[in-house]
Amino acid sequence: MAAAVEIAYDAIRSGIISGDYPGGAHLKAADVAAALGVSRTPVREALRRLHAEGLVDFVANRGAYVAAWNHTDVDEVFDLRALLESHAAFLAARNASAEQIAELRALALHMERAAREKPPRYLEIIADANVRFHKLIRVASGNKRLASFISIVVERPLMLRTFNRYRDEELLRSAAHHLEMVSAFDARDGSWAAAVMRSHVLAAQHVYRASHAAQASGRAA
């Protein structure tokens, strides 16, 4: 039973994060169970866990739906990211191993090169390296509870697809933030690392707001 719940949980969560299950999508337990080859019971348990994480909403007499986001939700997530990830960066500057810092540097350089040279599917390359970079900072912080909280906040479809909204100069600025964070980790300066991470998250928030405003203006026209 426990294994089936984990299978259902991982599959549904991955589908939400990837956008295969978009906001507002109806998650019918019978359909999900049939697709995964499990019974409805572990699917229902997985949906309850995802509801606790804010990824799924329950509607009375209708079932489970992928949570849809509004402007307030987005701002709340960015605010939490700014607080939690900056603290993770502060701790990582103190606790990261030399090997972890070296891996962070390699990822930052990989993102900077992709943003500058634009190879095929460069946005996917940057997004993948970005997820790994931020996840490694959480691990390097040494605070498991903090890492868990940040994962719940950050790993949402909205956050993982923000690079599609970036202009060239914004991608390069993001890459520069990553490189500066590595410099702060090298210096073992937690305050510097936290400040750069906060700037990094707030810059992403402004990119999202500007992109959303432009889309809304285009629809109105």
Spatial separation of the C-alpha atoms in residues 112 and 115, rounded to whole Å: 5
Spatial separation of the C-alpha atoms in residues 106 and 101, rounded to whole Å: 9
For the stretch 9-56, pLDDT in tens is 989 988 887 677 887 899 999 999 999 999 999 999 999 999 887 789
pLDDT for 218: 54
Is 212 a residue whose pLDDT tops 90?
no
| Domains of the chain, start order | 2-66 (1.10.10.10), 71-220 (1.20.120.530)
Nearest to 134 by CA among 126, 9, 22: 126
What are the Cα distances from residue 124, in Å, to 108, 115, 136?
15, 11, 18
pTM for this one? 0.75
Confidence of residue 149 (pLDDT cuts 50, 70, 90): confident
For the stretch 93-128, pLDDT in tens is 999 999 999 999 999 999 999 999 999 999 889 988
